[in-house]
Amino acid sequence: MTNWIFRLFDRPLRARNSMVVGVVGTGVMVGLVAAVVFLPRVSFISSKRGYSANFAQAAGLTSGDDVRVAGIPIGTVTSVKLNGDVIKVGFQVPKSTHLGSQTTASIEVATLLGTKFLQLIPAGPGSLSTSAPIPLRRTQVPLDLADVTNSLSATVNGLDIPQIRAALKTVSDTFSHTPSATRQALNGLSGIAQVITSRQSQFQHLLVASRQVTATLAAQRGSLDALFADADNVLKTVRERRAIIQHLLVDSATLGSELTRLVNHNSATLGPLLTRLHVVTRLLRKDDQVLGRSIDLLAPASRGLVNATGDGPYIDVNLPYLFFSDNVLCAFSIAKGCR
């Protein structure tokens, strides 16, 4: 055997049959890929144990829904199929979950939009059988609003309104000589019959609209679930930030109290200061035009000074008139040649 192995690897690949090398290499790669893909699944499946339960109806339960014990998701529904006159639901839970021989199962509503899950209540000694399903006597299904609406619609549509009205009229005629209280009660029943007769089409329209609303909610169940989840996240965020907001409000109140105390403590100083500021403001407002005129007259002098000091640290002197500007000299007829 050892000599055969050495003979197998004693030649380089170039000296071997390329087709055989390609087939062997391909087989090794396929084996590695299959091992990477399927080994985690095998280990996951090996950690689960499968059970089944019989129900009178599926009640909207589908494959992939949660399996819960005491409200905690522990497994998944694997199949929902018809088995004779019952619905057989297959599910998987971890092997570490102990289910007694008298364990009960029920299909519960997870949200207002009709999302379902399988609820298990462990009970009894021993262990639940993996081969025999949980019988019907230990399973329950929820009440479906759509079924109730449909049955109510069928019941109302099946009523013979004329016969009901005739029967009520007969009862009213029979008790026409009874005391006034009885006659009033029967007149009320007659009025109810007339209202039902006159509003029959509206009742039917209401039931049809209710069925459409139910169908729309069922179709948009995923979007509404996401909306409720987002609203829950917003409330969680607000709850988490509640302490920060509370500290912010407390600090704001403390700052207001400190400012109030500062003003009260320095009121003797701040009062005269504000009074003086008011006097200064009033004087400045009164002399606003004079100040504006002074600024306008200061502009030419500033311009002349800038022109005279345009050489940096030196001052230009215009002999024989020194640093007086031409417009000043012309105004006083000192310079010659003014135009």
Residue 89: its pLDDT value, please? 92
187/83: higher pLDDT: 83
Report the alpha-carbon distance of residue 191 to residue 171 in Å, rounded: 13
What is the number of alpha carbons within 13 Å of residue 165 lying toward its C-beta?
A: 12
φ, ψ of residue 131 to 5 degrees: the values are -100, -35
Give yes or no for a contact between 174 and 167, defined as CB atoms under 8 angstroms apart.
Answer: no
Residue 104: its pLDDT value, please? 92
Lowest mean pLDDT among 5-19, 181-195, 261-275: 5-19
CB within 8 Å of 304: residues ≥ 6 apart: 323, 325
The pLDDT-based confidence of 307 (bands split at 50, 70, 90) is low
DSSP at 175: T
Chain position carrying tokens 């169908």: 215
Lowest mean pLDDT among 3-12, 30-39, 78-87, 157-166: 3-12
Chain position carrying tokens 């522990």: 74
* Average pLDDT for 158-173: 73
Answer whether residue 197 shows pLDDT above 80: no
Lowest mean pLDDT among 7-16, 153-162, 214-223: 7-16
The pLDDT-based confidence of 154 (bands split at 50, 70, 90) is low
Answer whether residue 134 shows pLDDT above 80: yes
Average pLDDT, the chain: 75
Answer whether residue 53 shows pLDDT above 70: yes
pTM recorded for the entire structure: 0.36
Report the alpha-carbon distance of residue 152 to residue 263 in Å, rounded: 74
Answer whether residue 93 shows pLDDT above 60: yes
CB within 8 Å of 28: residues ≥ 6 apart: none
Residue 64: its pLDDT value, please? 87
Percentage of residues in the chain with pLDDT exceeding 70? 68
Over residues 212-235, the pLDDT tens digits come to 787 777 777 777 777 877 887 888
Residue 233: its pLDDT value, please? 82
Answer whether residue 339 shows pLDDT above 70: no
Over residues 249-267, the pLDDT tens digits come to 888 888 888 888 887 887 7
Report the alpha-carbon distance of residue 334 to residue 146 in Å, rounded: 112
Residue 44: its pLDDT value, please? 47
The CB density around residue 161, as the number of other CB atoms within 10 Å, is 14
Over residues 96-108, the pLDDT tens digits come to 888 888 999 998 8
* Average pLDDT for 66-81: 89
Residues of the chain by 3-state class (helix, strand, coil), percent to 5 = 60, 15, 25
